[in-house]
Each structure stands twice: as C-alpha cells, then as structure tokens.
Structure 1
Amino acid sequence: MERLFLDRDSRVHRLSPEVKIAAVLLFTVVVVITPREEFTAFAGYAVLIALVTAPARVPAGWLLRRSTIELPFVLLAVLLPIFGHGERVDWLGLSLSVDGLYGAWNIVAKGTLGVLASLLLAATTTMRDLISGLDRLRCPAVITQIMTFMLRYVDVLIDDARRMRIARLARAYDPRFLWQAKAFAVGVGSLFLRSYERGERVYLAMLSRGYTGTMPSVAGRAPAREWAISSALPVAAAGMAVAAAALP
C-alpha cells in the first residue's frame, strides 16, 4: 500500500500530514476554478509544483511516469477539437473547433496539475499518515475507519485471491475466454464470502476488546509554523490567478 511513498529525508516529508492535505486541496480548488483562458496562471501553477518537487526530493521522472494514469482523459481531450461545434480553425489540413481546443486544454492542464499535486502528496506522506491527517481535519469518522480497515486488510484479500488463482491453476484450469468466465465469477463470489466472514470475525474481536464505534483519537496538532509554510502553495496559486485575471 506504500508503493507511491518515497522514503526521503526532506522538509516536505517532515511536515504534518494534515497541513499537506489542506495545502493540496486548496491548491487544486484554485486550479479548477481558474478560467481556461488564463494560460499565464497555469504556467505559474506548474512552476509552483516544480518548486515543491525540488525540496521534497521527488524525481521528475518518477512523477512523469506515474502521471500517465490520466492518459484516458487526455485521449478524450484530443477528440474534443475534432468533434466540437462552433467556430473552427484550420491546422495542418484539419478543421478544429475553437471551443473544443479550449476544452481539451482545460482538461489536460487542470488534470495534469491535479495529478502531479496528488502524486507529490502521496510521495511525501505514508498512507497511515494520510488517514491520520484526515482524522485531524475532522473528516467523518466512518470514512477514516473504512480507510483504516481497507489499508489493513487489502493485502490479505490480495493474498487470498492469489492463493485461489494458484489453486485453480494447480487443477489445470486457467480461464482466458469469455465463455470460461464462470470460474472467474465463482472465484470472485468465494472471495467476497471469505471477506465478509473475516470482517465479521474482526468486528467481534474488536467488540471483545472494548470497541465502541469510534477509533482512538490521534493526539497532537500541527504547529502554526507548519500551517504557515504549507499555506504558501495555495496562497501563491491564488495570487497568480488574481494577477493573471488582472492582465489585459
């Protein structure tokens, strides 16, 4: 579950998780509400991401490789200028929609910045710290509890699924085609029943140990200095948005 976390000794890693979550969330909000025509503002946001990446000691190649998760949305954006309506321009023999071009830019720019910011958060914060930070930010307890249990047992479920597949292969049955999907469906159903039964046993064990419906609170709060440091990202982004809007 910690595949995205990079164990580095940096000032960004040492920041409390709640301040990093708040900073990324506010930065993303600023990016999303920025009009798509403000190209200067988006360039400034990219510079801010780079300025955070350097002290966090996160390799640029690592970010770029994992940002390919947005490729399906990029492919969708490529189609917008072709099939869009309204005013059109000619480029390399193609008739492209102006509104579609703006829409494609809007998706690619905002999506890329959001993905990069999220990857930076994941690279500098462990999953357990993220859940702890959400808890300190007063995220609904039921959500953080579900995330905690998922973090604890998802590897167990993956191991169960792997053992079931090995058992199926040991019996010389390896479904690869649509008409052989029954075995896969049966395996998924069996895995669901095992997960449900395990959840019931874990819940009863928690009740026997004094569980009352809420997880123990995490002590400690982020100092004001860390809040001030983390606020530099969204504040700078907001300043760039205002400055770009003020330009003629």
Structure 2
Amino acid sequence: MGAGHAHALYRHGHSPVHRLPAHCKIVATLAFVLAVVSTPRTAVWAFGGYALLLAAVAVAARVPPGFLLRRMLVEVPFVVFAVLLPFLAEGPRVEWLGLSLSESGLWSAWNILAKGTLGVAGSVLLAATTELRDLLLGLRRLRLPALLVQIAAFMVRYLDVIAGELRRMRIAQASRGLDARGVRQWGTLARTAGALFIRSYERGERVHLAMLSRGYTGAMPDLDNGTATRPAQWAAAAALPGAALLVCLMGWTL
C-alpha cells in the first residue's frame, strides 16, 4: 500500500477530524450520503441544512473552501447533464425568461444537483482528512474483500504512473512541434492513446514480475496495527450522520 504515497486530494492536518479512525469516517460518510439520498427532493430547506453540516465539518477539519471547491470540479459533467434536463424532459411546461422548461425536468435537475453536490463534497472531505493508506486499511477493517482493496490500491497508485507517462509523451510531442488540438490531429491522438495503452500494459507486467520476485503471493502485507476503536471515536464520527438523519426525518414529516 505504500506508506509514502500521498494523494493530491489529501490535505495534511492535525484536526479532530484528521485524528478519527478511517473506518469510522468511511461509515459516517456513507451514512450521511444515504440520509441525503433518502430526503425528498421537495424538502429544499433540508439540503441547505446538509450543506451547513458539511461546512461545520470543513471548519473543524480546517479545510479551506477553495481547496474543497477545486476538487469538486469532478462533478461538472453531472452539472451539464442536470442543466439539460429541463429542456429535454416531458410533462407540464413552465415559462421562465422566455424559455419553456419542463416542470418535472426542473425537479429532476434540482434533485441531481443537490444530492450529487452534497455527496461529492462529503467524499472530498473524507479524502482531504484521511491518507490513502489509512483509507485502504479502513476498508480492510470494515471487512471489504481483500481483492477489492488491492484493486483499489493499485488503481489509485498507478493512475498517477499512467498520468506521468502521458505527460512525458505530450512533452516529447511538443518538442517535435506537434500541437494536437484540431480535427486533423485526431489520428495522432488515437495512435498516442494506443501507445499509452501498450506502455501501461508492459509496465504493469514489469511491476507484477517485480512483486513476485519480492515474495508477492496474491495478498498484500497486513499493515494494520490492530488498535481498538474507542466508543468516543465512534460517537464523534456519528455526529454528522446523526444530525443528517434528523434532518432527513424532518424533511419527510414537515
């Protein structure tokens, strides 16, 4: 799992959120997302409450808003899809600024944007306050199949390796005067993608052989120190999903 590998999503800190065990934070984040997803889309005020809860966690974790917002840009494709729904969906129409919008499409777009944004923000906060190694160990402590944990570990680690390989190939192309931005360069881009696949596959084989030569038998060494989780730590982690569950229940009853 590599103790020295720090992911770009992680922000080093010594806050109370950072010190919570990884498996507690994973369970808390999952429970929070389930509460958000279970909330009726018509309870608009409830999603504002969820946002305030996440803001409180970000303040406690000392995660700057800019850091959080930049890493939430991964949500942009879903935002584009949600924006198109009011124009494409069927059903009763409403007029707004001269545009004919579907009422059901507006609610669907709001549902996707609100719940998706809160889910992404919760996940980014989890990654920002938990090192990659601790996340993987947390998944192991939650009894996730070891094979899935290994796949996740290799995927995260070697995505950076492949990105580095692609960066070197682009530098080599630029040094030779290639500016692959137009339609005419699509053939070159396709060949670049093919070369990247072959290089990645060959590197994967070399890494596997290196692991076998060092005694790899299909299972990574267990680096968990086995420290027991205190009830106070579970209680602290349960504060966020507990408050979210209360908001969800109020959203259904009010």
Q: Same-fold call, TM > 0.5? A: yes
Paired position in structure 2 for 1:137: 142
Whether the 8 Å contact between 1:135 and 1:144 is mirrored in structure 2 is yes
Counterpart AA for 2:247: M
Aligned residue among 208, 227, 232 for 2:234? 227
TM-score by length of structure 1 reads: 0.87
Give the share of equivalent positions with the same residue, in percent: 54
Q: Indicate the residue corresponding to 1:8 in structure 2.
A: 13
In the alignment, the residues of structure 1 paired with residue 86 and residue 161 of structure 2 have an alpha-carbon distance, to the nearest angstrom, of 46
Give unmatched runs, 5+ long, in structure 2.
1-5
How far 1:174 sits from its partner (Å)?
4.5
Residues in 2 aligned to 1:171 and 1:71: alpha-carbon distance in whole angstroms:
33
Q: Which residue of 1 aligns with 2:61?
A: 56
Distance 1:178 1:75, change over 3 A: closer
* Letter in structure 2 aligned against 1:20: K
Q: 1:162 deviation in Å?
A: 2.9
2:76 partner amino acid: L
- Residues 178 and 8 of structure 1, relative CA distance in 2, 3 Å threshold: same
Pairs within 5 Å for 1:1-248: 2-217=7-222, 218-220=224-226, 221-247=228-254
SS at match of 2:27: helix
CA distance in 2, matches of 1:226, 1:18: 10
Map Cα deviations across residues 201-227 of structure 1 (whole Å, 9 max, x no partner): 322232233222111222324333212
Distance 1:170 1:97 in 2: 51
Provide the alpha-carbon RMSD of the alignment: 2.3
Q: Does 40-49 or 175-184 show the bigger shift?
A: 175-184
Contact 1:36 1:105 in 2 (8 A): yes
Further displaced range: 227-236 or 61-70: 61-70
Q: Structure 1 residues 207, 101: CA separation in 2 closer, same or farther (over 3 Å shift)?
A: same
Q: Distance in 2 between matches of 1:61 and 1:171?
A: 37
TM-score (norm 2): 0.85
Letter in 1 for 2:30: L
Cα pair 1:18 1:222 within 8 Å, conserved:
no
Secondary structure of 1:225's partner? helix
68 and 227 in structure 1: CA distance in 2 versus 1, 3 angstrom threshold? same
Give the length in aligned residue pairs.
247
Deviation (angstroms), 1:58:
1.0
Residue 94 of structure 1 deviates from its aligned partner by: 3.6
